[in-house]
A and B are shown apart, each in its own frame.
Chain A
Amino acid sequence: MSEAVVTDTGGVIPAGTEGVVADFSADKQTYQMPWGKAMMWFFLLSDTFIFGVFLTSYMSVRMSARDAWPVPSEVFALSFGGEPIPLILIAIMTFILISSSGTMAMAVNMGYRGERVKAYWLMMATAAFGLMFVSMQAFEWTKLIVEEGVRLWSNPMGASQFGSTFFMITGFHGLHVSIGVIYLVVIARRVKSGFYERTRGNYEMVEIVGLYWHFVDLVWVFIFAFFYLW
C-alpha cells in the first residue's frame, strides 16, 4: 500500500519489488522511517525469536512428557459460586489486553494529530489496562501456587513439566507487560508536558511505544492459543 517516494535530491524510489532493490542499494537510508522506530522493530523481531524459542521448548516438553499434560481448560477454570467456568479469567485477561491495544492505537492516532492531552489520557488508559492485566495474572499465579500446589518441578494435575513452562512463558510475558506499563507512563508524561513538541516537533515516540505495546498483545495471542487453548 506504500507509494513511490521522492527524495530531497529529486530521485524517485518506486514502490513494490523494484522499490526493495532501490531501498537497499540507493545512496540513502534504507528504511523510510525515523531510526527509533526501525530500531524498535528490530528489537521486537529479536523478541519474537525469544518467545518463539520459549513456545518451541514448551512444545518439545509437552510432546515428550510421559505423564498426561494437565488440561488447561480445567486448571484455569474459575467458579463464581456455581459451576466452574472454563478459562474464564484468561478470557477476561485477553479482552483487557485487546482493549488496551485499542486505546493505544487511538493514542498513536491522536499523537499524529498533535492532540497531546488526548494522547496522554489514552496512553494512561492503556497503562491502566496493562496494570489490570498484570494484577489478574498475579491473582492467577497465587491461586495456582497456594491453592493448587503447582510448582516448577511438580504439580498434582499431571506432567511435572507443566509448572516450569507455565511460569516461564507467562512470567516472561508478564514482565513485558510490566515494563510496558512503566514505559507508557514515562512517555505519556512527556507527551502531556509538551516535551516532544519542544525537542522534536512530532509525536513519533507515541508510535514507537505503541509498537512495543501491540507486540505484547501479539505475543499474548500466541500464548493464549498454544498454552491455554491447545
Chain B
Amino acid sequence: MAHEVDQQHPLSIYFWIWGLLFVLSFFSYMVDYMNFQGGLRWALILLFMFLKAGFIVGIFMHMAWERLAMKLTILLPPFALLVFVLLMFYESDYVFLTRITFFGEGAPSMMHH
C-alpha cells in the first residue's frame, strides 16, 4: 500500500485559524447588529460564510493537504446543488406570483390556516 499523507501540522496554525474563525463570526454577527440592509448585507453575509467554511474545510478538516483526487471527489459534487437552487428560485418566484394572483396581497392576519 502506498504511504498515506501525513496530517501532522504545527499547533500554531490551528490557533491562528481558531482566532480567525472567532473574528469572522464576530463580523458576521455585527452585520446583523449594525443593521446593514440590502445588497451590502447579503454580500457581507456570504463573504464571511464562505471564508469560515473555507477555513474549516481547508485547515481543520485538512482538505488543503489532501491529494487533488480527494479534493475533486468531495468538493465538486456539491456544486450540483447550485443547479437545483436555480431551478427552485424560478419555481418559487412562479408560486409566489400565482398566490398573489389567486389570493391577492396582504392581510396576513385575516387568513385562516
Contacts and interface: CB of A to CB of B under 8 A. Distances in A.
B84 to A, nearest CB: 6
Query: What interface size band does chain A fall in?
Result: 35 or more
Contacts, number: 192
29 contacts: A2-B65, A15-B67, A19-B69, A20-B68, A23-B68, A29-B2, A32-B3, A32-B67, A33-B4, A49-B77, A49-B78, A64-B95, A66-B99, A66-B100, A66-B103, A66-B105, A67-B108, A67-B111, A87-B32, A95-B25, A105-B18, A109-B8, A112-B7, A112-B8, A214-B57, A217-B56, A218-B53, A221-B52, A228-B32
* Dominant secondary structure of chain B at its interface with chain A: helix
B95 A56 contact: no
Contacts of B21: 98, 101-102
* Dominant secondary structure of chain A at its interface with chain B: helix
Interface in A176-230: 207, 210-211, 214-215, 217-218, 221-222, 224-225, 228-230
Interface of A: 1-2, 5-8, 13, 15-17, 19-20, 23-24, 28-34, 38, 41, 44-45, 48-49, 52-53, 56-57, 59-61, 63-68, 73, 86-87, 91, 94-95, 98, 101-102, 104-106, 108-109, 112-113, 153-154, 158-160, 207, 210-211, 214-215, 217-218, 221-222, 224-225, 228-230
B14 A5 contact: no
Given A33-B66, A221-B56, A59 B2 contact: no
A218 B29 contact: no
B4 A34 contact: yes
